[in-house]
Amino acid sequence: MAERFAELMERTFSAADREVIYRLIRSRRDVRRFASDPIPPETLRRILEAAHHAPSVGFMQPWNFILITSPRLRIQIKALFDDINAREAAVVPDQDRQRLYRSLKLEGLLESPMNIAVTCDRRRGQPFVLGRAPVPDTDVYSTCLAIQNMWLAACAEGIGIGWVSILDYSKIERLLGLPEGVCLIAYLCIGFPQEFRTRPMLEEVGWRAREPLHQLVYQDRWGQPCALLTSSHPPDHDEEG
């Protein structure tokens, strides 16, 4: 029992440790403006190791990371962005918001020293992945967890990441030569940021505000207010019969 207690104590994080983790989560930003300085290889390895330690259903580890340094390839991808971004701007319904949209910096494809394509190999672990059959898309969800790990580790290292979604992913899959059964989940810019904003950029410019947490948390069923975040006593679950 004493040995077990000692082991649990070793796994317990101090208040200072916890605050670092929460501060890191609050500080993470989607970065679009980068310095051109290269990322030190040992730093890049630590960031990718963090991604690789993400949880995955059935321990399938479906992710791969394609490090993209080719200027020619990145110019091709930037052209895809420019084309789709122009189309997106044209369909913004309000003229003021359309002007705001056109003023936004939404990528750092050429400025950043590297791009990273994060893929999901939907064949990995076949023919049987423990726990996946009831929810087949858990391979995609697991890959997203790896991306979040990467993002937080990068922030801790003083490195910025920006997720570029204004792209035709099917065309990029062809450019990258992805085999059948492997799909692109995220196309990322990564590098030293010119700045880490105190708030998300879209919040700063008035595009959207952060939703209040209490409006997003329900209890037991959709739309039912949750008392657990405001009361120290659990509600009576039998009060409605």
Q: What is the pLDDT along the chain (241 residues), one digit of tens a residue?
A: 667 766 776 778 888 999 999 999 999 999 999 999 999 999 999 999 999 999 999 999 999 999 999 999 999 999 999 999 999 999 999 999 999 999 999 999 999 999 999 999 999 999 999 999 999 999 999 999 999 999 999 999 999 999 999 999 999 999 999 999 999 999 999 999 998 899 999 999 999 999 999 999 999 999 999 999 875 544 444 444 3
* Contact yes or no for 116/52 (Cβ under 8 A): no
Task: Please report whether residue 2 resides in a domain.
Answer: no
* Cα 178 versus chain centre, distance: 21
pLDDT of amino acid 4: 73
Residues listed for the chain:
241
Task: Please report whether residue 172 resides in a domain.
Answer: yes
Task: Please report whether residue 224 resides in a domain.
Answer: no
pLDDT of amino acid 240: 40
| Token pair in block for residue 27 | 């500080």
How far is CA 108 from each of CA 12, 22, 227, rounded to the nearest angstrom? 39, 27, 43
How far apart are the C-alpha atoms of 197 and 27, rounded to whole Å? Answer: 8
pLDDT of amino acid 180: 97
| Token pair in block for residue 2 | 């004493």
Task: Please report whether residue 119 resides in a domain.
Answer: yes
User: Rounded to the nearest 5°, which phi and psi values hold at 166?
Assistant: -85, 70
SS3 77: helix
Specify the number of domains making up the chain: 1
pLDDT of amino acid 234: 46
Give the predicted TM-score (pTM) of the model.
Answer: 0.90
Task: Please report whether residue 98 resides in a domain.
Answer: yes
Sheet holding 182-191, edge to edge: 63-68, 114-121, 182-191, 160-163
Tokens 């340094």 belong to which residue? 69
Task: Please report whether residue 126 resides in a domain.
Answer: yes
- Helix runs in 30-168, H state only: 41-52, 71-90, 95-103, 138-156
**What residue numbers bound the domain in which 114 lies?**
25-215
How far apart are the C-alpha atoms of 25 and 155, rounded to whole Å? Answer: 9
Task: Please report whether residue 79 resides in a domain.
Answer: yes
Task: Please report whether residue 183 resides in a domain.
Answer: yes
Question: Residue 167 is part of a domain; what is its CATH number?
Answer: 3.40.109.10
Crossing angle (nearest 10°) for helices 138-156 and 41-52:
140
Angle 191-160-86 (CA atoms, 0-180°, nearest 5)?
85
